[in-house]
Structure 1
């Protein structure tokens, strides 16, 4: 019974009207995680260290001269991946081996747990050339295989005969109701009908071929 009033109190919190949600404290919204300006004074340096949960003597931001890594007052946490940490320690997030409110290194997306790690394989690079190389390694063999198998029928037949496996159904020539080639270009194709099959019952168990040829003089079987 105690949880019901708490549920209503949390749902009808006054911070909803201020656009802050039921839990209003620093670090809740993404805008609170945005790095600030580079600290220029000792007071700004101490404030930035406290903001990121570090001791002032351990806080070292990237210098503005480092155009590749400089991101304001964000600290240089070094390259410390999950593989570097004790697997038997107690963490807030056991999968990532991280604790709550712990600063994340800038290269965290390159050394993710579910991908490449520092002590396992190489880091997960996202450079254009690395992406093009990876796509080429994956797609080119597939494209070459399908081009050879689909556009070279002789090779496909050789592979089929060698493997004794038929992975496609045999195709017969297409059947058309009229001889369009004879009617081309100015005649009516309906004047040249072709009998491919008939649903008429056979007399004596056999079809009357002469009658069919007389009715359909342009039948392909009579050529």
Structure 2
């Protein structure tokens, strides 16, 4: 206990009191709570007047004539933007975030994460029409069915010998008569003789 008192008194003597007082007003909770929610990120209520529409268009960086509202009350005044996939954007532009092909602060559709490079593309026309897709499905299914019917008479099996057991194929264990036990001649490495 004496050692603890001595170490504490030594520590307090070497610490300058003004350093301790300097940092007492700092708090991590104030810094975290101040940046937790930005009121500018939250969509405002739906604009009702032309002035509110112009202010909302300016807020999202759009011209007032290009600003259209999503008719969803939960999204507020968030604008309707066409869904454009990453693959349709200019690959040579110097983006702030090249992986997403986006600029900092750029407005994007609410379902933006659904149209990434590796996901669906709403503007893609596809390589095949729906009729070609259905016809291809039925052709592949018919090919498997035809192959199954042709190969059905030729079953696949592993060729193998019957399992061998010791002691004359377990003759006595299977209930055979010990007096009539057959003699099994095994193969040998000696040359065959004429008998």
TM-score normalised according to structure 2 size: 0.45
- Identify which of structures 1 and 2 has the higher relative contact order when contacts are C-alpha pairs closer than 8 Å and 6+ apart: 2
Structure number with greater Rg is 2
